[in-house]
Structure 1
Amino acid sequence: MWADTSVKLGNMFGAVAGFLGVLLLLFYLAGFARGRLSRRLAILFLLGPAVLLLLVGIVVPAVRTIYLSLYNEDSTKFLGGGNYTWAFGNSDIHQVLLNTLLWIVIAPILTTGLGLVLALLVDRLRGQAVYKSLIFMPMAISFVGASIIWKFVYAYRDPSQPQIGLLSQICMWLGWHHPPNWILSHPLNNFLLMIIMIWVQTGFAMVVLSAAIKAIPEDVTEAAVLDGAQGWRLFSNVTIPMIRSTIIVVLTTVMITTLKLFDIIRTMTGGNFGTQVLANEMYSQAFTEFNNGRAGALAVLLFLAVVPLVAYNVAMLRKEREVR
């Protein structure tokens, strides 16, 4: 086992070293070029490796995935759109798509809204850097780590036994002596899992929105105050319009993260108890059911869902940059 691992590591490091060696050789040869040729070679040598890596790492796998989605589980029989028909005609996949839709609607909105509220509140406190660091800290934890933490929060035991789950114990302190098994309770479990995503991502939303609020020109705010805008009117008529593009960027960024959601579901429930989402179903089809065709079809659907959000996000960033 260790011998195979060492061979694989050696091959990997050898490939990286070879790639870097070729780059250095190309840059060395480019140094001898003169005139227009030197500019063209510089562009070729600087962009070439990036384009090559893009092709090898993204384009080729994407084309391969689309190809697999058109065939059966072992790619021996062409099905055309059969796997896509299965995806849209299967009741279990309907539940998966519904869960995914709930995630991409509820989690990003609550995350962005909570981040905005915290940005407004924390900016008014003394020692705001400390509070922001504490709120942002969950971002340093992986989704797997966060899921393990919250697994203890949602842990369930029979009411006759000592509780190790924080939520169950709080319920019993408040007089609810028979709390449910939180992870098994559908559809409640989906919303409880969303809390993990919100907990992790709220710090990101708060920091970005706080920076956007601080970037609002003071003369704009002062002019609004002189016109009688205070409190909610100032917030709704001045603050929100001035940071609208940032809000949209944060919202779409969290949506993209949510669409690719895998770690939380895999760690907490494995996709059971009515909590399955698209990314985890894709993994299950590929590595549990060993059906590359269906996994490829789900991957293509996930890709098609993410691309518009990414494109819109890029467009908003460009628009914001032009305004600045």
Structure 2
Amino acid sequence: MAISFVGAGIIWRFMYIARPPQKPQTGVLNAVWVGLGKLAPGTAGQAVGLVVLAVLTAGMAGLCLFGVRRRQNAIAIGAALSALPVLWLAYRLVGPGLGGVEEGPLGLPIGKPILFAQEGPFNNVWLMVVLIWIQTGFAMVILSAAIKAVPGDIIEAARVDGANDRQVFFRVTLPTIVPTIIVIVTTLIVLVMKVFDIVRVMTNGNFGTQVIANEMWQRTFTEFNLGLGSALAAVLFLGVVPAMALNVRRLQRGRV
């Protein structure tokens, strides 16, 4: 819990924080957003941006053609979808404008940062991103260990039978690590049900981001409403029980 508190605070300060418009932005996303707004109106900045976007579009187009010629639809579709945001950025750069800048009282441009934690409904999405960011390392370590534990004999047998890399992964490796995937999924379900620290640190449940665990904390330890706090704790417990039961059942089957 302490590590998660620190992680949420660091991510908030590093990525999402919005300072007053007159001051330099220290959060990465707002610094980029305001920087784009200051560069876009100028001829030089607009030209450089269009050149960069043109290069990216050409790269996506080349990758799409490569996928079509090799009959690899996944590559072609992925490249085509990746080109859409680039084209949108080019449209905004040429037309309505790109970046967070507005005209100040003296006619000078000032930054217009995005309030990631306050502006709904996407503030909930940004809180989800923090949880994903924190838990990705845990999931990757467990999955990496599970993949390395797959016996080499069955992989070699699949290659002898003529399986390519994709078939080896989806028909041999993936079915072998399914129990590990179930453990990770159930663990994350329990974590999501009782998530508290991220909401507590970043919004304290305000701006439409309240969750059951933080509501339970506020009712019990801030308002001292023990009855309502106990009821929320019971609801939270009942929500976590199915995932825990599934995990325990899987462990019992593994011992048989």
User: Same-fold call, TM > 0.5?
Assistant: yes
Cα distance in 1 for partners of 2:33, 2:165 equals 37
- Partner in structure 2 of residue 270 of structure 1: 204
Within the alignment, does 1:259 sit opposite 2:120 as a pair?
A: no
Cα distance in 1 for partners of 2:201, 2:27 equals 17
Amino acid at match of 1:301: V
- Partner in structure 2 of residue 164 of structure 1: 26
- Consecutive unaligned residues of structure 2, counting only runs of 5 or more, are 38-98, 101-111
Cα distance in 2 for partners of 1:171, 1:321 equals 54
Aligned 8 A contact 1:249 1:317 in 2: no
TM (normalized to structure 1)? 0.53
Cα distance in 2 for partners of 1:174, 1:219 equals 54
Aligned 8 A contact 1:148 1:267 in 2: yes
1:280 Cα deviation after fit:
0.4
Instruction: Give 1 or 2: higher helix fraction.
Output: 1
Choose between structure 1 and 2 for higher RCO, CA contacts under 8 A separated by at least 6 residues.
1
CA displacement 1:237-287 (0-9 Å, x = unmatched): 111111111100011112112211111111111000111111001111112
Cα distance in 2 for partners of 1:191, 1:225 equals 42
1:319 Cα deviation after fit:
2.5
Within the alignment, does 1:233 sit opposite 2:167 as a pair?
A: yes
Q: Secondary structure at the match of 2:117?
A: helix
1:157 Cα deviation after fit:
2.4
Moved over 3 A (4+): none
- Consecutive unaligned residues of structure 1, counting only runs of 5 or more, are 1-139
TM (normalized to structure 2)? 0.66
Q: How does 1:53-132 map to 2 (within 5 A)?
A: none
Amino acid at match of 2:128: M
- Partner in structure 2 of residue 320 of structure 1: 254
Q: How does 1:30-69 map to 2 (within 5 A)?
A: none
Cα distance in 2 for partners of 1:179, 1:238 equals 49
Cα distance in 2 for partners of 1:229, 1:163 equals 52
Q: How does 1:13-32 map to 2 (within 5 A)?
A: none
- Of 216, 236, 244, 1:310 maps to 244
- Partner in structure 2 of residue 205 of structure 1: 139
CA displacement 1:301-322 (0-9 Å, x = unmatched): 1001111111111222233344
1:179 Cα deviation after fit:
3.9
1:141 Cα deviation after fit:
6.5
